[in-house]
């Protein structure tokens, strides 16, 4: 079964263009190193009644929206292999030297086994 790394983070709406640039580069790096799929999604319909809201969960501040992202791998072992290659990729090192358009300490992430695949 595939394995998925998932991410949830707040991003200032005014910084979304800068974030998109970083996300496009990250997508290329992960795909070049073996990830099967890379998606970054920006919150659009986040005010659903009766349910816990992503902005509340991530403690989004005024002027921020939520980015929900995931990367798909063949397996957990493949995820570990791909991520190790990504961390050695010189493009990541160059990207990490630049200021990020979001607060990395407020990002939630984790690895997930696929429970259902349709």
Domains with residue ranges and CATH for the chain: 3-113 (3.30.70.100)
Rounded to an integer, the average pLDDT of 105-117 is: 95
Rounded Cα–Cα distance for residues 47 and 53 (Å): 7
Rounded to an integer, the average pLDDT of 20-37 is: 97
The confidence score (pLDDT) of residue 73 equals 98
The confidence score (pLDDT) of residue 47 equals 85
Whether the predicted pLDDT of 42 surpasses 90: yes
Whether the predicted pLDDT of 48 surpasses 90: no
Per-residue confidence band for 1, with pLDDT thresholds at 50, 70 and 90? confident
Tens digits of residue pLDDT in 60-110: 999 999 999 999 999 999 999 999 999 999 999 999 898 999 999 999 999
Token pair of 10 as six digits: 């707040």
* Percent of the residues in the chain that have a pLDDT greater than 70, as a whole number: 100
């Amino acid at each position: 079964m595939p394995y998925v790394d998932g991410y949830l983070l707040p991003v200032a709406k005014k910084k979304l263009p800068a974030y998109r640039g970083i996300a496009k580069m990250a997508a290329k790096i992960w795909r070049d190193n073996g990830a099967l799929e890379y998606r970054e999604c920006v919150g659009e319909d986040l005010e659903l009644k009766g349910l816990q809201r992503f902005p509340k969960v991530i403690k989004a501040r005024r002027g921020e929206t939520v980015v929900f992202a995931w990367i798909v791998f063949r397996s957990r072992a493949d995820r570990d292999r791909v991520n190790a290659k990504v961390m050695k990729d010189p493009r990541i090192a160059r990207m990490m030297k630049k200021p990020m358009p979001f607060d990395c300490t407020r990002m939630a992430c984790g690895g997930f086994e696929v429970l259902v695949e349709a």
